[in-house]
Chain A
């Protein structure tokens, strides 16, 4: 990426992508997309269980997980990159959750088999290799510890308190746990959404898993639950064709929670379901969603503070499913239902020539230049030397990394670079020569 500071700030700092700029045509049918932390790579989960990693600079596939065995054999349900970009979690309808180490992408580093298809998987944010998975027809989510070679699985359910008891002592059926997300600020908080429209908040610690809050948002399935980077906005896409956007407030100790409904997004005319939802960065000023049904081919983007539709991202000719937003390169990826291609919307920044020289001006026609009287006069040698000396005295810091990029995204973390697979290049060369 070119140096963004040199570009036109009004284009660079636009808050959402505007135009369809790229289509990744894959031979396999993509069913979910996920950018790596810094937006360097894009992982595509396919319906046959393959996971392909695209390099976003070249828009070419660079790696396929499990090409030496141990890949998934049913469609991928979710993908999660670790924060440092070295590990990937995948969950699939073949009942497995697998963890991949991109240093050796040929085989899964860890794998766990459940007794039914796995809906989602994501990293726990406590800094260890741990994962939260939600599984088909299971009342509770699962916590998987992936640190050791043989992962251990435990149910996330409060044993101390009787979980089936509501506030008034009556037993409550929360239904199956379908979705889960970790709170980005309070690293020990897990939010889960259930098939009966409940949100349950757990506090996870080494010793116990404590249910600390429940809240009912609807009487239907939670399909997706997302939380903003700042942790105070939550959106839930549920099977009643509504996306509910809540403001989540809590006290300092994170013991009391309050959900305030801000907006409900519905397609009032066609009553369409929403296929996928995603928040923009930081405090989530925008919400983007894809719609179910063959008539809709666009992504809708709302402003979360007013609830108004501000942009329709168009350009595709098929229904869109999963959505992921790369805040670093300001692009949104979504996969099509029919072809399985991946569409990418991004910013188109017009070239700004004045960046090359500060006094550069674009002119409509040629102007004959008239030299000013003193324009090329030699300035006093001494003065010049002094100026040069001064310029040299200013120390330029080339080592300290900035912690935020122009758009306010955190960049202080290390980005893992997927090593080049020389072996396969050697093999290709050999095959070429043989055949």
Chain B
């Protein structure tokens, strides 16, 4: 014998109210008040939905009902052969708020609900930039999940080899971009690079001259500095400015050094001032300028390659649109692999 749920009173076989003589039902043993009841298939008694704590909305879903007593084997078939019966339910419609039983061979109570449910699913499909219905159709056509996932990975489909040159070569914008890119790579970048090389070479020359001229005195100065307990720590080593407008090395450092004279402001266009404030940091400024130029070239290169790619994609898309417009049916863009 099975156990009764704790809210269920123990079985009483009373069928009539002792004081009024009315017929009583259910576990509550009250007369029929018109409230929704369900008949037990085991004991033929009637039970209130509310007393059995079954939500009213399930009333259409009951297939065969057995009361708690029958399920526990107190009454009904279970009390006779020990096979405890269970209440059976019909399958509910898939629409969440619908509590009607399903129609034959369906998961829904009606055609209408079936459509509504699927529409709801389709609405939840959201792919940026694509038609959801189209994507769904693709999904249905591509039963293979992996194949579906890889869709669109290959970029915009290419036009055939015969057509491609015409498509790309006739486009002014693309040609312009490509020539810009070529100019940048073949002309501008090497030019700045060679300027940078000249600058580096010239700066090394100036350093060499300075070393020849002032190395000794600088060492002396450093020695003096250490003796005076390095009171003036940030004293700069003595050096001539060395700025020259066109960065032309006039002669070798060995030849130049003897010609240096502190009185003379410039020799062959090379500024010979010591601690020249006017050309302060000329090498740094020029190097920064050139390096900055190179940096922007690099980002320009990146930008141009990207723009070329974008333009090519645009052209390919246009090509596809045209094909479709003319009635040639290419594979839908999403499906095309290579």
Interface residues, chain A, with chain B CB atoms under 8 Å away? 49, 66-71, 73-74, 93-95, 115-116, 136-137, 423, 426-427, 430
Q: B63 at the A/B interface (Cβ < 8 Å)? A: no
Cα(A413)–Cα(B310), bound, Å: 40
A115/B245 in contact, CB under 8 A: yes
A94 and B300 in contact, given A71-B292, A423-B307 (Cβ under 8 angstroms): no
B297/A69 in contact, CB under 8 A: yes
B278/A115 in contact, CB under 8 A: yes
Q: B331 at the A/B interface (Cβ < 8 Å)? A: no
B300: chain A residues within 8 A (beta carbon): 68-69
A68/B296 in contact, CB under 8 A: yes
Q: B288 at the A/B interface (Cβ < 8 Å)? A: yes
Cα(A69)–Cα(B297), bound, Å: 7
Shortest C-beta distance, A422 to chain B (Å), equals 11
A95: chain B residues within 8 A (beta carbon): 282, 285
Shortest C-beta distance, A19 to chain B (Å), equals 40
A68: chain B residues within 8 A (beta carbon): 296, 300
A427: chain B residues within 8 A (beta carbon): 303, 306-307
- Complex: chain A residue closest to B287, CB-CB: A73
Which residue from A69, A116, A423 sits with its C-beta under 8 Å from B278?
Answer: A116
- Complex: chain A residue closest to B311, CB-CB: A426
- Complex: chain A residue closest to B300, CB-CB: A68
A94 and B285 in contact, given A116-B279, A136-B278, A137-B278 (Cβ under 8 angstroms): yes
A73/B285 in contact, CB under 8 A: yes
B288/A73 in contact, CB under 8 A: yes
| Interface SS, B side | helix
List, sorted by A's number, 7 A–B pairs whose CB atoms are closer than 8 Å.
A69-B300, A73-B285, A73-B292, A115-B243, A426-B307, A430-B306, A430-B310
| Binary A-proximity of B216-248 (CB < 8 A = 1, otherwise 0) | 000000000000000000000000000101000
- Complex: chain B residue closest to A67, CB-CB: B296
- Complex: chain B residue closest to A73, CB-CB: B288
A67: chain B residues within 8 A (beta carbon): 296
Shortest C-beta distance, A63 to chain B (Å), equals 15
Cα(A56)–Cα(B310), bound, Å: 32
Q: B138 at the A/B interface (Cβ < 8 Å)? A: no
Shortest C-beta distance, B159 to chain A (Å), equals 21
Cα(A253)–Cα(B238), bound, Å: 55
Cα(A69)–Cα(B294), bound, Å: 8
Shortest C-beta distance, B285 to chain A (Å), equals 5
Which residue from B243, B293, B310 sits with its C-beta under 8 Å from A69?
Answer: B293
Cα(A427)–Cα(B300), bound, Å: 12
B296: chain A residues within 8 A (beta carbon): 66-71
B279/A115 in contact, CB under 8 A: yes
Q: B289 at the A/B interface (Cβ < 8 Å)? A: yes
Cα(A136)–Cα(B285), bound, Å: 15
B289/A73 in contact, CB under 8 A: yes
Cα(A68)–Cα(B293), bound, Å: 9
Shortest C-beta distance, B184 to chain A (Å), equals 9
- Complex: chain B residue closest to A93, CB-CB: B285
Shortest C-beta distance, B178 to chain A (Å), equals 15
Shortest C-beta distance, A261 to chain B (Å), equals 33
Which residue from B243, B277, B285 sits with its C-beta under 8 Å from A74?
Answer: B285
| Binary A-proximity of B82-101 (CB < 8 A = 1, otherwise 0) | 00000000000000000000
A74: chain B residues within 8 A (beta carbon): 285, 288
A69: chain B residues within 8 A (beta carbon): 293, 296-297, 300
A66: chain B residues within 8 A (beta carbon): 296
